[in-house]
Structure 1
Amino acid sequence: MKKVGMGVDFDPLHRGHIHLIKEAKKIGEVYAYINADYTAHHAPPFLSFEARKEICESLGVEAVPVTGLHYRLPLSYTVPIRIHLLANDGITDIMDAAASHLPREEIFRLARKFAEKEMLMGIPRDWPDRNLIRWIAANELYGLKHKKKMDYHITPTYKIDNETVSGRYIRKAILENGRITAPVRHLIPSQTEKVIERELREGNVQKGRDADTLMHVANRYSKSKLLKLANINVDAAEKIVAGRPYEREDQLLFPLRRAGYQHVLSNLAISCMEKKVTRKDVAQLIDNYSKKGITPKDQKMENLIERAYFVARASQKMDANLADSVFRAGIDDFWEERYDEISSLSGVEAEKIRSLRKGLQYKAPPESILAGVKLRFPDLKRIDQNTICDITTRGSDIMAEFRVPNQVITGMLRLPAEEVTFLRYLLDSQLVPIACNVEMPEGKTRVRISYGLTR
């Protein structure tokens, strides 16, 4: 008997999901891998996992909890891990619903192409089938590495009255009205209706976040401490500090939007603040899956470091955003001078890529950076090799914070422009952990900056 898996929120399970389940049952036994603790949009669920499991069981579907991912990692980083979870449990087939725009054959051709390159991050952002291609590519890549590729099935997104059924609309309508209204009842099966009505009566709907911890982090963490958290970049840390004080979660959306975070990434940043998820925590998680052969090459920590270094060097000759697009489109192709291939994925003109390549030779990122620091003489006398040191920013400058008794001493780092840019991109990577310590070569105060887990 075939085992059909699907990666879902089911929050709540609606008629679109019923269609998906019916299609899956035509193939075999159905297993729903439900994001239990945080949804794929990095928010606490509307219904508990137990409530969603109850609905699944009433429909003849086995519910499997997926935890520990969506409050730590961007959605794209969870895909290869979830593929691994399905394959490792003996799932033979995957059922997915998508409003695909490209022919099925083209979607699978592109997915195989990205899988062969171990690229899940280089799929152009403006491709309408981007997420579907990423899922299929992750499955293809897993098959190449572990010889356990599952058959991937796509069914069209289910519509009622020519509109896609939206879980977000259902949740919003129920929360606003405190009950299931007639339009919502039209969109959910009786099994879901029964469970939601009970959960509403018992006050178990939309439990929310740990507000005390979230507000403590939002109001009390220094900028340097915020920058140790995963999925917080420099601009976000600055905007959060400037917008204090906060009393509610929704007030954090404003500084994050000002920092360029869209809704889903804002949810992820807030989740990391709530759970105090550090960059080091995430780096260790990625490293653990890398050692198991789960993480693709372009999501490994060393690739993020190489990307920051490449963009820092290339931005002297090309706009930084274009340089980043070139790297994401396939850095190996860049060094091997496959300009048309890079151009087709990055949107950067092939001639510009050619010109950049001619002026740029391969150079590995430094293992660490030794920086000078601008400090007043009285402050220098209070710092030694045991002084705790952190990295922060002030405008365009990168600063070191030295924690001495009853005081924090701040000094600007002295570095070549390229290394300043490199460090800035590492800080903005949102995932690469950065650490520093004081060194005293020949009695001079220096700051040794390391990044990643082994550097």
Structure 2
Amino acid sequence: MLKLIAISADFDPVHKGHEKLIKEAKKLADEKQKKLVVYLNKGYSANHGPFFVNFEARRDMALALGADEVKSFEGLHHRLVLSYSVPIRLNKMYEDGATDYITSAHISLDEIKNKAQKFVKEGNFVGMPKNYPNRNEIRWYALNEFLGSPLEYHVIPEFNKEKYSGRKIRKSILDNDMVIPKETRKLLPKTTIDILEDEIAAGRIPGQRNWAEIYKRMNTYSRGNLEKIAYLNGNTINEIIKRRVYRDPESIWAVFRRANYGPVMTRLAVSAIEEEVTKKEVMDLMKSYEAKGVIPEGQKVQRVIDRAWYVASESEKGVNAKTANETFRSKNIKVDNPPLNIRAGLNLTKFETKIISEGLNADLYIDKDNKISVQLKAEGKKIKTNLRLPAKEVTYLRYIMDSNFIPTSASIRKDKKGYKVDITIG
């Protein structure tokens, strides 16, 4: 197996800051007699949006500056947040034979190490503070440490991040009617300029979302169908229904702002809608990597279920949810056997009771009054009704439904006194 020096990036497009990184990595690779491999994200960027420049062009930009090979990470960034995708990407590097990882930052390796220790100790890499400088570099270092430090970590000084900003470079080209402005050209290697101009001439820049499918789903999907899509919670789904009709991107960004989503989670949620990524799909992907020992213990699917049951149990005792959440995380609370099956009562009319039958599938959703409800079809009729559940189970189920990636399914069951709904979690 070849020994590799690895870089992981979007490079959208490759600018002179990336050029410096590649050249320093190449120097290190030559000194260690290893191969320099650049890992580029493909499909969706690490920020969960479409790329400005397609993979093939970004690959050519990296190769032109000295990379020995370019590999891709694909299928992750419309399904997972960074705290889950980074360990998966690291695992791929380990399997490929990478021994060293090189990145750029404006803080030192010692500072990165110090800030990473809190997360390594907790074993949970979700919710890294926004005020952390070079958050992504800290996350990569922390997860590499948590997974046994297979990669030797190298940091080179970062160029002026405000000046050498991929976002600003992309904006300058868009604002200049797809012509690279003179000031922007100074930030780009000549090879990047040549490739960019060829891509612009061919009409392959900028990459676009499939807005037609996004509008269609946001305008027509029921609450039950939207509930199945990853990264949509009950409140957000009700905002989506309330604000219909969607005809332009701004109306979509606006509804997620009203639902208190930040920019990153908005892009991830919209990407999930665009690709129709289901909660089950995300959960199954996570579990497949859990089986390989890649996902940190504190981020496993079962821990999300455990947290929901613990918060529900504490809420029943009068403890507020925020306090219960903090206690669960900080004290690494162990939870015994949270239920994965719940039987709930239904509020049916006599007519509805006559036409439904055992085994009918049902969709769970949060109604406009913020109550957990169910929708099913019987004899061509659509039936919607609230569930009847004890308060503890209501809290538990609501946390599960709002978890972003834990799916629920439900079906009708005959009971001594009529019909109930059996709910399966996960």
Verify: 1:141 aligned to 2:146, yes or no. yes
Shift of 1:215: 1.9
* Aligned residue in 2 for 1:47: 53
Contact kept in structure 2, 1:69 and 1:78, CA below 8 Å: yes
Shift of 1:400: 1.1
Verify: 1:200 aligned to 2:205, yes or no. no
Query: After superposition, where does 1:237-252 map in structure 2 within 5 Å?
Result: 237-252=237-252
* Aligned residue in 2 for 1:56: 62
Contact kept in structure 1, 2:12 and 2:53, CA below 8 Å: yes
Query: After superposition, where does 1:354-365 map in structure 2 within 5 Å?
Result: 362-365=335-338
2:225 aligned partner, one-letter code: K
2:390 aligned partner, one-letter code: P
Deviation string 1:240-297 (CA, Å, 9 cap, x unpaired) is 1111111233321111111111111111111111111100011111111111111111
- The 2-side partners of 1:197 and 1:330 are apart by 55
Shift of 1:112: 5.0
Query: After superposition, where does 1:2-151 map in structure 2 within 5 Å?
Result: 3-28=4-29, 29-61=35-67, 62-100=69-107, 104-105=109-110, 107-109=112-114, 111=116, 114-115=119-120, 117-121=122-126, 123-124=128-129, 126-128=131-133, 130-143=135-148, 149-151=150-152
- The 1-side partners of 2:11 and 2:315 are apart by 44
Shift of 1:129: 5.2
Contact kept in structure 1, 2:355 and 2:379, CA below 8 Å: no
Contact kept in structure 2, 1:387 and 1:438, CA below 8 Å: yes
* Aligned residue in 1 for 2:351: 378
Q: Measured at CA, do residues 310 and 122 of structure 1 come closer, stay the same or move farther in structure 2, by a change above 3 Å? A: farther
* Aligned residue in 1 for 2:32: none
Q: Measured at CA, do residues 244 and 132 of structure 1 come closer, stay the same or move farther in structure 2, by a change above 3 Å? A: same
Contact kept in structure 1, 2:283 and 2:406, CA below 8 Å: yes
Q: What CA RMSD, in Å, does the superposition of the two structures yield over aligned residues?
A: 2.0
- The 2-side partners of 1:159 and 1:126 are apart by 18
> Structure 2 unaligned runs (5+)?
30-34
* Aligned residue in 2 for 1:263: 263
1:52 aligned partner, one-letter code: R
Q: Secondary structure at the match of 2:228?
A: coil
* Aligned residue in 1 for 2:387: 413
- The 2-side partners of 1:370 and 1:451 are apart by 11
- The 2-side partners of 1:132 and 1:397 are apart by 41
Shift of 1:164: 4.4
- The 2-side partners of 1:69 and 1:326 are apart by 31
Q: Secondary structure at the match of 1:445?
A: strand
* Aligned residue in 2 for 1:404: 378
Shift of 1:314: 3.0
Contact kept in structure 2, 1:122 and 1:329, CA below 8 Å: no
Q: Secondary structure at the match of 2:200?
A: helix
1:172 aligned partner, one-letter code: K
Q: Secondary structure at the match of 2:102?
A: strand
Shift of 1:310: 1.9
Q: Normalising by the residue count of structure 2, what TM-score does the alignment of the two structures yield?
A: 0.92
State which drifts further: 258-267 or 244-253: 244-253
- The 2-side partners of 1:113 and 1:120 are apart by 9
State which drifts further: 127-136 or 63-72: 127-136
- The 1-side partners of 2:227 and 2:130 are apart by 26
* Aligned residue in 2 for 1:435: 409
Shift of 1:109: 4.9
> Structure 1 unaligned runs (5+)?
336-361
1:44 aligned partner, one-letter code: P
Deviation string 1:104-160 (CA, Å, 9 cap, x unpaired) is 4353255356335532226555544543332112112222xxxx7110112232127
State which drifts further: 129-138 or 217-226: 129-138
Verify: 1:168 aligned to 2:175, yes or no. no
Q: Secondary structure at the match of 2:77?
A: coil
Contact kept in structure 1, 2:26 and 2:66, CA below 8 Å: no
Contact kept in structure 2, 1:391 and 1:401, CA below 8 Å: yes
* Aligned residue in 1 for 2:326: 325
Query: After superposition, where does 1:262-411 map in structure 2 within 5 Å?
Result: 262-316=262-316, 317-332=318-333, 362-394=335-367, 395-411=369-385
Q: Secondary structure at the match of 1:44?
A: coil
Q: Secondary structure at the match of 1:92?
A: strand
Q: Secondary structure at the match of 2:145?
A: helix
- Equivalenced residue count is 416
Verify: 1:425 aligned to 2:396, yes or no. no
Q: Secondary structure at the match of 2:416?
A: helix
Q: Normalising by the residue count of structure 1, what TM-score does the alignment of the two structures yield?
A: 0.86
Q: Measured at CA, do residues 150 and 2 of structure 1 come closer, stay the same or move farther in structure 2, by a change above 3 Å? A: same
- The 2-side partners of 1:134 and 1:328 are apart by 18
- The 1-side partners of 2:111 and 2:173 are apart by 40
1:384 aligned partner, one-letter code: S
Contact kept in structure 2, 1:2 and 1:27, CA below 8 Å: no
State which drifts further: 109-118 or 309-318: 109-118
- The 2-side partners of 1:152 and 1:43 are apart by 28
Q: Measured at CA, do residues 315 and 186 of structure 1 come closer, stay the same or move farther in structure 2, by a change above 3 Å? A: farther
Contact kept in structure 2, 1:375 and 1:412, CA below 8 Å: no
- The 1-side partners of 2:337 and 2:332 are apart by 13
- The 2-side partners of 1:438 and 1:125 are apart by 45
Q: Secondary structure at the match of 2:358?
A: coil
Q: Secondary structure at the match of 1:389?
A: strand
Contact kept in structure 1, 2:22 and 2:66, CA below 8 Å: no
- The 1-side partners of 2:242 and 2:137 are apart by 38
Shift of 1:422: 1.0
- The 1-side partners of 2:66 and 2:134 are apart by 30
- The 2-side partners of 1:448 and 1:132 are apart by 45
Shift of 1:410: 1.0
